[in-house]
Amino acid sequence: MQAYFDRFAILLSGACAIHCILFPLIAIFIPFLTTIQHGHTFHEFWFHQFILIFILPISLVALYSGYRYHRKWIPILVSMTGLSILTLNALFAGHMLSLHIIPHEAETLVTIAGGIVHAVGHIYNMLETQKTHNHSSDHN
């Protein structure tokens, strides 16, 4: 069951990254969307907030379940680092953009980087769980 939560968390991080990459590309081909600036609208704020509502609990369940099984902290630390980046960016990117602290491109890159780090943590969590399962099966 834990592997399903890890996979779903990875899927959600991927969906966020794909959204950040594809929205500007689609906007090039659909003129109406060029009037909506990625990262500066209610839509963008809502999307990042909405996806975090799902990523946070699913990630916590997957990471906790994996930890209980393999007792390794590294998957949690890696995934939580990515999750922290995603959360901070989703909560404060609009403010940082409006104050010109970061450029729009940096907000997108930070979101993508956070999603990748988060996904890597979950992949590591799945691998450690599988390795522990295989190791315990070999000894039985």
Task: Please tell me which of 11-25, 36-50, 76-90 the model is most confident about, judged by mean pLDDT.
Answer: 76-90
Distance CA(7)–CA(16), nearest Å, equals 14
* pLDDT, tens digit, 9 for 90 and up, residues 58-105: 999 999 999 999 999 999 999 999 999 999 988 888 888 889 888 877
Which pLDDT band, with edges at 50, 70 and 90, does 39 fall under? Answer: very low
Distance CA(131)–CA(129), nearest Å, equals 5
Q: What are phi and psi of 73, to 5 degrees?
A: -85, -25
Distance CA(104)–CA(128), nearest Å, equals 37
Per-residue pLDDT, 33? 54
Task: Give the residue from 73, 86, 72 showing the smallest Cα distance to 119.
Answer: 86
Whole-model pTM: value is 0.79
Distance CA(31)–CA(70), nearest Å, equals 51
Task: Give the residue from 16, 7, 6 showing the smallest Cα distance to 111.
Answer: 16
| Tally of CB atoms within 10 A around 80 | 18
| Tally of CB atoms within 10 A around 13 | 28
Tokens of 112: 């993508």
